[in-house]
A and B are shown apart, each in its own frame.
Chain A
Amino acid sequence: MTATTERETATAGAPAPAPAIEAVSVSRWYGNVVAVNDVSFALGPGITGLLGPNGAGKSTLLHMLAGFLAPSAGSVRMFGETIWKNEALYRRIGLVPEREAIYPFLTGYEFVLLSARLHKLPDPEAAAARAIRIVDMGSAQDRAAAGYSKGMKQRIKIAAAIVHDPEVLLLDEPFNGADPRQRLHMMDMLREMAAAGRTIVFSSHILEEVERLAENVLVVVSGRLAASGDFRQIRKLMTDRPHTFTIRSSDDRRLASALVSDTAVFGVELGSDRLTVRAADFAAFAHAVAKVARGAGVSLFEVLPTDESLESVFSYLVKR
């Protein structure tokens, strides 16, 4: 199933500028192995999370978006142009690969400067200094990368990828090896870049983080696009999965009997200290619960949706 994002529908009518990234029926196979299978989507500015089980084709897809890999069929477009063998577009993309693609004998500064020179920037020194400042690596920039921790290597790789101030930033598992503080810092950094109008795509296995960072997700399962868009909207389209809430109140039994007679509710279970309610229509239940509780004279202490997280959306998509 595919959910269309609000952004896509909003821009469809206007004489819209071409989307930052667009995949049109993209496939990639290696011999008989199909890594990516007929995938289409369009992305604009903001942060998009790329999710999927190991081996689903996430890295292959990111490499095709970056112009590193030719699609076997279909095309990847960036700002309306095909990206494969289109060197002018490379200046507008930054890629942070998953592997430790960093020379251990260079200092952090030298590594970022090398990237600035490869892009033939007019003032590579200033660009390198700026990128290093953004990732907050100034105090360690003159030490050899061999002595860096995983989190520091990750930040220097990001600095090298943003040295030419690209409009599109692609990151493959950027949080790997980062400690809690580094994770928070990196999230803030990506949010700022997105707020400045950049298009950011990152892959991750840590669903809690994707949920907090990305307004949009792309879910790849076995090489196919299982869903794309705002995961909350995707969840609402899964009408075959009931929405579950737990409720704590001043009188669970009384509230249970009142809720059962509401048409939005089709299952109520009375637990020892809470009530579990199943509803077919999320919005209808949300609108009913306060009114029903007031009508029954019951105080609501806690209402929690238990089935709306990215984690449950993801597990539904992967299992089907």
Chain B
Amino acid sequence: MPLLSTRELSKRYPGVTALDGLSIELEPGVIGLVGANGAGKSTLLKILLGLLAPTSGEATLLGYDVRRQGPELRQFVGYMPEHDCLPNDVSATEFVAHMAQINGLPRAAARERTAETLRHVGLFEERYREIRGYSTGMKQRVKLAQALVHDPRVMLLDEPTNGLDPAGREDMLDLVRRTGNEFGIAIIMASHLLGEIERVCDHLVVIDAGRLLRSAAIGEFTQRTQVLAVEIEGDAGPLAGRLAASGLRVKMEEHTVLIGIEAGQTPYDAIRDTVADLGLGLVRLEQRRQNLEDLFRTPEREDADVAAG
């Protein structure tokens, strides 16, 4: 059974089309969701939670029809919203245990699961303090814990690293990855940061102006290209000159010489020997990969941007 399946899913608001005939099918895994602001990411997440009815089309999550089976579906779904949504005047323990009970866990089980989940997300002594004094990183952890406490089968995370500093980001990404891999919980994570999607996700869905632009394994977005990059300490000019003279196609980019590989060519030894002969410092030698960012290097589309409300 697929994790998620949508067919011709559309959502129109007066004057704005947020989703426009979106059809995707996804297998469980850690899935990244990317798109321009206003491309329809948040609308899709709300429809998948069964909180917003699509204008037309169908969607199922875990096999449940999101339109008719919202309440049944939601007991298997955890949701981490993007915005600040935590009450200030209770502790993390009280809040997460309350959310567990709302999700149907008996009081004693809710208490136990809360302790386990807060430990998993890395909140210890501070879990008995009021949330108002928490740092951004601690609040993000509480938001993740409440999405996880009822042991869902899928979690929807909306920009989980928002506002975090580098160490906090690293911790959160690690948590997301571990939650996906160790607990086997499917994860759909919306983010603007392609670097973090590449690090955590195994599948990427790109939506643009409410339609599916591409859905594929991460590896397919970052395939090797037929370009070798050689980074040199100091001036790359002499190296580029020698390699060009030996019949290779080369291009310079600051301290890096880019070499186009033709079919059947293996310029590795020529590069090694030229570097050695010229007495240069070899900092990096690698076959270039496609970049996730290349997807977005098309001309600016302001109309897609404008649709954001």
Contacts and interface: CB of A to CB of B under 8 A. Distances in A.
Interface string B237-278: 000000000000000000000000000000011011101100
Given A149-B37, A283-B233, A290 B276 contact: yes
B166 A315 contact: yes
A149 B285 contact: no
A188 B199 CA distance: 25
A6 B268 CA distance: 34
Interface in B270-293: 271-273, 275-276, 279-287, 293
Interface string A263-279: 00000000000000000
Contacts of A290: 272-273, 275-276, 280, 282
Nearest to A149: B308
B305 A182 contact: yes
Interface string B290-301: 000101111011
Contacts of B152: none
A148 B272 contact: no
A269 to B, nearest CB: 19
A253 interface: no
A72 interface: no
18 contacts: A52-B165, A54-B165, A149-B37, A151-B308, A152-B305, A152-B308, A180-B34, A184-B296, A205-B164, A283-B233, A286-B233, A290-B275, A294-B276, A300-B282, A303-B282, A303-B284, A305-B283, A318-B167
A293 interface: yes
Interface residues of A, number: 47
A231 interface: no
Interface string A295-320: 00001111111000001001100100
Contact of A179 (B36, B283, B306): B36
Please report whether the interface of chain B is mostly helix, strand, loop or mixed according to DSSP.
mixed
B122 interface: no
A298 B183 CA distance: 44
A214 to B, nearest CB: 15
A206 interface: yes
A140 B272 CA distance: 53
Contacts of B297: 184
A289 B223 CA distance: 27
B213 to A, nearest CB: 12
B305 A205 contact: no
Interface residues of B, number: 50
Contact of B293 (A180, A299, A311): A180
Interface stretch (B1-9, B92-100, B113-121, B190-198): B190-198
A55 B275 CA distance: 46
Interface string A119-140: 0000000000000000010011
Interface in B142-175: 163-169
B192 A180 contact: yes
A305 B192 contact: no
A315 B279 contact: no
B37 A182 contact: yes
A42 to B, nearest CB: 25
B165 A53 contact: yes
B54 interface: no
A205 B166 contact: yes
A147 B38 CA distance: 11
B309 interface: yes
Given A183-B192, A301-B285, 18 more contacts: A53-B165, A54-B137, A54-B165, A139-B302, A149-B308, A150-B308, A151-B305, A152-B308, A177-B37, A178-B192, A180-B293, A182-B305, A206-B195, A286-B283, A290-B273, A299-B272, A302-B286, A303-B283
Given A149-B308, A283-B281, A290-B276, A180 B164 contact: no
